[in-house]
């Protein structure tokens, strides 16, 4: 039962101090996709690069303390691709793809638009260029899983206060329609929702107020997969016993 974990770390150094790698050692995961490293190569210790015997591959942002993605794997990949061919967003370290035979495991960190109108416009630009990449990727005929923080709650069930967020970044009609296109037009599958349609399955909570304690959250972390891989998914869980970040790790087991 291959196990794949997606985790936005909100800083790899911060997550380390909170016990993320101690927890990871106990998980026996085959692949771990991490986002928001907030680090560059000089900041990466041997434990960050190759924890628990994993092979680690990373895409660092040019800006210090910002963004960044990585994939840890039990076996060495046949091929590693950093970036998806868009200079603006490749400079932000938002995409790393590791290929293993006919399987591609990808860690993605989609932009947030909540900090300013300018960042929302950047998010729309990302959406415009990333969708064709997803189409081309699927056309290759490989089994693909894209794990990460997509910074969009797709449906009303995916956030606690959906009525109050209809005009906010992360739940805008354009963003939600874009996610729908990925599933309905491009043919990818929201793996989590394919096996668990319960409410309140959140993966991120604001640091304001008592959002985490009251479970006033958003489901913005996903495994987005090709249908052949998605149908192999057997179990999903969100790990909340410890807090390593403002996100919780999303864990899905596949019967490959």
Quick: pLDDT tens for 19-67: 999 999 999 999 999 999 999 999 999 999 999 999 999 999 999 999 9
Asked if residues 120 and 152 have their Cβ atoms less than 8 Å apart, the reply is no
Query: Can 43 be counted among the known catalytic residues?
Result: no
What is the rounded average pLDDT of the residues 122-136? Answer: 98
pTM value? 0.97
**Domain locations along the chain:** 3-254
Which tens digit of pLDDT belongs to each residue from 56-77? 999 999 999 999 999 999 999 9
- 156-167 pLDDT, tens digit each: 999 999 999 999
**Domain over 3-254 is classified CATH 3.30.450.40:** no
Q: Which of 149, 158, 190, 221 is catalytic?
A: 149
pLDDT of residue 208: 86
pLDDT at res. 190 = 98
**pLDDT average, residue stretch 90-104:** 98
Residue-wise burial string across 74-109, b where 16 or more C-beta atoms lie within 10 A, e elsewhere: eeebeebbbbbebeebbebbbbbbbbbeebbbbbbb
């Amino acid at each position: 039962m291959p196990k794949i974990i997606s985790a936005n770390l909100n800083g790899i150094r911060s997550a380390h101090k909170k016990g993320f790698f101690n927890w990871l050692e106990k998980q026996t995961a085959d692949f771990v996709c991490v986002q928001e490293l907030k680090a560059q190569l000089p900041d990466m210790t041997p434990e960050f690069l190759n924890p628990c015997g994993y092979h680690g591959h990373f895409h660092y942002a040019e800006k210090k303390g910002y963004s960044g993605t990585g994939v840890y794997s039990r076996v060495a990949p046949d091929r590693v691709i950093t970036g998806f061919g868009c200079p603006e967003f490749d400079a932000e370290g938002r995409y790393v793809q590791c290929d293993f035979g006919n399987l591609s495991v990808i860690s993605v960190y989609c932009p947030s638009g909540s900090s300013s109108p300018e960042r929302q416009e950047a998010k729309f630009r990302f959406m415009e260029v990333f969708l064709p990449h997803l189409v081309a990727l699927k056309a290759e005929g490989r089994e693909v899983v894209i794990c990460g923080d997509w910074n969009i709650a797709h449906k009303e069930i995916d956030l606690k206060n959906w009525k109050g967020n209809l005009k906010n970044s992360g739940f805008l009609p354009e963003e939600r329609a874009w996610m729908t296109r990925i599933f309905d037009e491009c043919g990818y599958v929201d793996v989590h929702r394919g096996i668990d349609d319960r409410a309140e399955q959140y993966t991120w909570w604001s640091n304001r107020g008592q959002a985490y304690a009251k479970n006033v959250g958003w489901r913005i972390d996903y495994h987005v997969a090709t249908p052949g891989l998605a149908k192999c998914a057997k179990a999903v869980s969100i790990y909340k016993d410890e807090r390593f970040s403002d996100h919780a790790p999303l864990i899905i087991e596949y019967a490959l």
